């Protein structure tokens, strides 16, 4: 299992009932799963827990077989760098760095991802990043522009390349297409799914839009998963 | 990678970054500048008395004796008789002696009546003797040798005639205009009060006060020797052995013929520095307060920018940045700004020293340091850089906590 959640509970400080309450959820290696539900229902909070940025105090999260949630914050951060790629809804990039440099951010925090990308030095990292950007449809001239000069669709493709760099076992995508028009959305999803397939990465994507479900192996409604006493905000 | 992120991110916030750098540079100029000036003034004073073992004068306050005899900063005490000077000159412990008679001035510059020993034995700095930049030392009673600053400020050349005035300074009330002196020499710059002095012979001083006209060749009045004055204000002594200083000091304080004070210049200087320490500390406290304000500006500017950088930090966190990397970005930024500010400050100081050096030497006989950074200042610089990094810890911790609270995506 690349991701396993057991008996996971999370509540915001001062709340009486758990906001997140998941008895069991698992993701096979290479599996693509769509998690859909209305906005504000706790999907983003769940992703913060799964990526280990927010500490889960109750329950278990295992990533690549490792008891992720019981690691120290420092080791969770290092583990995330090695094994998880993240794509946000927007503001994915450091605007003052070029596309290539943004992709190389992943390499900077994880030696394992550099090894898996076959890039041991700076030049090789840039080449690997450029290669990935090419496959996502960004040519070399576009990739060296500062990120703020790219179109929104291009920015999301750079974000996908960063998440995919070094073939992490798990890609987490938080509404990556919600700000795109239908055409761009379809292009990005096609490319993302292709590259996940190539890299052998599992994809957990959260979206309020269930129309894209046909590209995924499974589609899960968040409300069905979150079995605790949750009330939509 | 972190340096690249820090630099690229700062480039998007040029204005506030520049202001921080300037604030830090100015506070460094204050702290290091004041410290250098203090050190240099002390070194200059110490340099002025470096070769003198004892200064003998009529009984008076030791500090006053030091200040008037060497630094011309105070009024001279009453004179000591010429017989006493003679006694000192013949004393077996005394290697050399320099008589100093004061009381006249020329356009605000003090006149020092002395003899050839002054040129031969006076030492400043590290055992450096006086030398003439042009001309020669006075030989006659109507000749004058100028300190370098006097010659420069008043634009005198060899052969010019000048008139001395009675009284120490200010617009002269009585001018000895019947006794013009001829400039025969100009001393090389020393960075000591010698540069501000006008030197004449004891005979010259005797002549202008006796009413005799040495140029006309009239004989001196009865009971008055033309070549020596009745009295001098002080005598600087160099001893055969420095170890004899204390015993000779004791001996002279019990001198029967007239009450004398003998002071050790180095000891008095130490006393002087203890007296001025309060003022120096106040200055230091002020410059530290300025640094503190600059660091607060640094902290508050970085803190204020954090709000707008939440996405930036979320991206870094998602890419795997832990506490160390977040600290690296924020503390690295404040350290970088402090470093650039410090370098700018040192450069400003260096340029100021270079630009003001001629003026300081001419106006105050103060040699300014010519160093960019001295070993002695390294701890200060290290402390400023450390303070800059520590200041960065505050926003860094806040940034890290923000990222935990924001989770994966910050709210807009």
Residues 6+ apart with CB under 8 A from B277: none
Say yes or no: A126 contacts chain B, CB-CB below 8 A.
Answer: no
Question: Tens digits of per-residue pLDDT, B134-152?
Answer: 999 999 889 999 999 999 9
Identify the architecture of domain A3-225 in CATH.
3-Layer(aba) Sandwich (3.40)
In Å, how far is B408's CA from the nearest CA of chain A?
5
pLDDT-based confidence at A58, cuts 50/70/90?
confident
Residues B229 and B99 in one domain: yes
Contact assignment for A45 to B407 by CB distance below 8 Å: yes
Contact residues, chain A, for B404 at CB < 8 Å = 53-55
Residues 6+ apart with CB under 8 A from A205: A32, A33, A34, A35, A172, A173, A176, A216
Residues B258 and B357 in one domain: no
Question: Tens digits of per-residue pLDDT, B243-269?
Answer: 999 999 999 999 988 999 999 999 999
Question: Tens digits of per-residue pLDDT, B67-124?
Answer: 999 888 888 878 899 999 999 999 999 999 999 999 888 988 999 999 999 999 999 8
CA dist., res. A193 & res. A216, Å (int): 8
Q: Does residue B215 carry a pLDDT above 70?
A: no
In Å, how far is B193's CA from the nearest CA of chain A?
59
- Residue after which a domain boundary falls, among B212, B240, B263: B263
Phi, psi of B185 (to 5 degrees): -160, 155
B390, B392, B398, B402 alpha-carbon torsion, rounded to 10°: -140
Residue B17: HSE in the Cβ half-sphere, 13 Å Cα cutoff: 17
Average confidence (pLDDT) over A212-225: 91
In chain A, what are the domain boundaries? Answer: 3-225
Residue B314: HSE in the Cβ half-sphere, 13 Å Cα cutoff: 24
By CA distance, what is A110's nearest residue in B?
A: B320
pLDDT-based confidence at B367, cuts 50/70/90?
confident
In Å, how far is A35's CA from the nearest CA of chain B?
16
Residues B294 and B397 in one domain: yes
Compute the mean pLDDT over every residue in chain A, rounded to the nearest whole number: 89
Residues B301 and B241 in one domain: no
Contact assignment for B316 to A94 by CB distance below 8 Å: yes
User: Could you tell me the pTM of the whole model?
Assistant: 0.81
By CA distance, what is B320's nearest residue in A?
A: A81
Higher pLDDT, A144 or B365: A144
pLDDT-based confidence at B218, cuts 50/70/90?
very low
Return the number of other C-beta atoms located less than 10 Å from residue B186's C-beta: 20
**pLDDT at residue B216, rounded to an integer:** 37
Tell me the C-alpha to C-alpha distance, in Å, between residue A228 and each of A21, A42, A56: 5, 12, 16
pLDDT-based confidence at B408, cuts 50/70/90?
confident
Residues B81 and B198 in one domain: yes
Residues B156 and B230 in one domain: yes
- Residue after which a domain boundary falls, among B208, B238, B263: B263
Tell me, yes or no, whether B412 lies in a domain.
Answer: no
Contact assignment for B11 to A96 by CB distance below 8 Å: yes
Compute the mean pLDDT over every residue in chain B, rounded to the nearest whole number: 88
Interface predicted TM-score of the whole assembly (ipTM), two decimals: 0.88
Question: Tens digits of per-residue pLDDT, A14-49?
Answer: 777 778 889 999 999 999 999 998 877 788 889 889
Show the tokens assigned to A233.
Answer: 């905000």
Residues 6+ apart with CB under 8 A from A164: A85, A132, A171, A195, A196, A199, A201
Q: Where is average pLDDT lowest: B216-230, B276-290, B322-336, B343-357? A: B216-230
Residues B256 and B349 in one domain: no
Residues B258 and B116 in one domain: yes
Tell me, yes or no, whether B268 lies in a domain.
Answer: no
Residues B33 and B103 in one domain: no
- Residue after which a domain boundary falls, among B200, B235, B263: B263
Question: Tens digits of per-residue pLDDT, B127-138?
Answer: 889 999 999 999
Nearest to B230 by CA among B103, B82, B76: B82
**pLDDT at residue B111, rounded to an integer:** 93
**pLDDT at residue B224, rounded to an integer:** 44
CA dist., res. B67 & res. B265, Å (int): 10
Interface test with B, best of A12, A77, A121, A172 (most B CBs within 10 A): A77
Tell me, yes or no, whether B148 lies in a domain.
Answer: yes
Is B129 strand, coil or helix? strand
Total number of domains in chain B: 2
CA dist., res. B242 & res. B246, Å (int): 9
Query: Which of B316, B323, B407 faces A54 most closely, judged by CB atoms?
Result: B407
Q: Where is average pLDDT lowest: A89-93, A169-173, B211-215, B335-339? A: B211-215
**pLDDT at residue B98, rounded to an integer:** 95
Pairing of strands B128-129, B165-166: unpaired
Give the range of the structural domain holding residue B6, as residue numbers without chain letter. 2-45+277-406
Helices (H) and strands (E) in chain B, counts: 12, 16
Question: Rg for chain B (alpha carbons), in Å?
Answer: 31
Return the number of other C-beta atoms located less than 10 Å from residue B71's C-beta: 17
Higher pLDDT, B407 or A148: A148
Pairing of strands B143-146, B181-187: parallel
Long-range contacts of B169-174 (CB under 8 A, 24+ apart): B169/B105, B169/B108, B169/B110, B170/B108, B172/B105
Higher pLDDT, B76 or B65: B65
pLDDT-based confidence at A209, cuts 50/70/90?
confident
pLDDT-based confidence at B214, cuts 50/70/90?
very low
Is B329 strand, coil or helix? helix
Residues B24 and B97 in one domain: no
Show the tokens assigned to B359.
Answer: 């003026």
Show the tokens assigned to B83.
Answer: 């017989």
Query: Which of A47, A78, A101 faces B322 most closely, judged by CB atoms?
Result: A78
CA dist., res. B55 & res. B97, Å (int): 10
Say yes or no: A44 contacts chain B, CB-CB below 8 A.
Answer: yes
Contact assignment for B319 to A105 by CB distance below 8 Å: yes
Average confidence (pLDDT) over A166-180: 91
Tell me, yes or no, whether B64 lies in a domain.
Answer: yes
In Å, how far is B403's CA from the nearest CA of chain A?
8
A122-135 vs A99-109: helix crossing angle, rounded to 10: 120
């Amino acid at each position: 299992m690349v991701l396993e959640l057991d008996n996971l509970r999370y509540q915001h400080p001062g709340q009486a009932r758990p906001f997140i309450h998941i008895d069991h959820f698992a993701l096979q290696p290479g599996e693509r799963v769509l998690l859909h539900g209305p906005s504000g229902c706790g999907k983003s909070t769940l992703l913060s827990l799964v990526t280990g940025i927010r500490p889960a105090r109750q329950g278990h999260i295992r990533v690549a077989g490792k008891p992720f949630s019981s690691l120290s914050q420092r080791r969770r951060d290092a583990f995330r760098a090695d094994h998880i790629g993240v794509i946000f809804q927007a503001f994915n990039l450091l605007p003052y760095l070029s596309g290539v440099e943004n992709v190389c951010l992943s390499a900077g925090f994880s030696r394992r991802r550099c090894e898996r990308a076959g890039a041991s030095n700076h030049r090789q990292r840039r080449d690997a990043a450029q290669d990935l950007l090419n496959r996502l449809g960004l040519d070399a001239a576009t990739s060296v522009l500062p990120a703020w000069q790219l179109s929104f669709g291009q920015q999301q493709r750079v974000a996908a390349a960063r998440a995919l760099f070094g073939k992490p076992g798990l890609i987490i995508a938080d509404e990556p297409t919600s700000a795109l028009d239908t055409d761009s959305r379809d292009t990005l999803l096609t490319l993302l799914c292709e590259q996940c397939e190539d890299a052998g990465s599992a994809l957990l994507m959260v979206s309020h839009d269930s129309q894209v479900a046909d590209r995924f192996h499974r589609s899960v409604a968040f409300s069905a998963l979150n079995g605790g006493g949750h009330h939509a905000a | 990678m972190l340096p690249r992120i820090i630099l690229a991110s700062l480039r998007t916030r040029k204005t506030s970054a520049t202001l921080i750098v300037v604030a830090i540079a100015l506070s460094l100029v204050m702290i290091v500048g004041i410290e250098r000036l203090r050190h240099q003034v002390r070194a200059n004073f110490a340099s002025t008395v470096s070769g003198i073992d004892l200064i003998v004068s009529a009984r008076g306050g030791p500090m006053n004796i030091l200040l008037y005899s060497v630094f011309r900063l105070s009024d001279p005490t009453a004179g000591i008789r010429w017989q006493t000077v003679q006694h000192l000159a013949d004393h077996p412990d005394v290697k050399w002696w320099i008589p100093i008679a004061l009381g006249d001035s020329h356009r605000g510059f003090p006149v020092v009546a002395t003899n050839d020993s002054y040129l031969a034995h006076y030492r400043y700095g590290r055992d450096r003797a006086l030398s003439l930049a042009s001309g020669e030392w006075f030989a006659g009673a109507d000749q004058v040798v100028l300190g370098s600053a006097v010659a420069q400020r008043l634009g005198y050349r060899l052969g010019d005639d000048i008139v001395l005035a009675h009284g120490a300074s200010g617009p002269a009330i009585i001018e000895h205009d019947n006794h013009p002196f001829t400039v025969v020499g100009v001393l090389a710059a020393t960075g000591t009060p010698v540069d501000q002095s006008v030197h004449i012979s004891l005979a010259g001083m005797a002549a202008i006060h006796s009413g005799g006209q040495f140029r006309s060749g009239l004989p001196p009045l009865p009971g008055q020797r033309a070549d020596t004055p009745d009295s001098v204000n002080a005598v600087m002594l160099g001893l055969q052995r420095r170890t004899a200083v204390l015993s000779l000091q004791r001996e002279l304080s019990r001198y029967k013929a007239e009450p004398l004070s003998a002071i050790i210049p180095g000891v008095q200087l130490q006393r002087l520095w203890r007296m001025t320490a309060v003022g120096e500390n106040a200055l230091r406290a002020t410059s530290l307060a300025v640094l503190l304000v600059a660091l607060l500006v640094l902290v508050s500017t970085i803190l204020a920018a954090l709000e707008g950088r939440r996405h930036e930090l979320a991206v870094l966190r998602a890419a795997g940045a832990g506490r160390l990397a977040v600290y690296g970005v924020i503390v690295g930024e404040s350290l970088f700004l402090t470093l650039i500010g410090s370098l700018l400050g040192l450069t400003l100081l260096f340029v100021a020293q270079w630009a003001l050096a001629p003026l300081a030497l001419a106006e105050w006989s103060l040699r300014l340091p010519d160093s960019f950074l001295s070993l002695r200042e390294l701890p200060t610089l290290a402390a400023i850089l450390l303070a800059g990094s520590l200041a960065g810890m505050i926003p860094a911790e806040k940034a890290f906590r923000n990222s935990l609270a924001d989770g994966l995506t910050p709210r807009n």
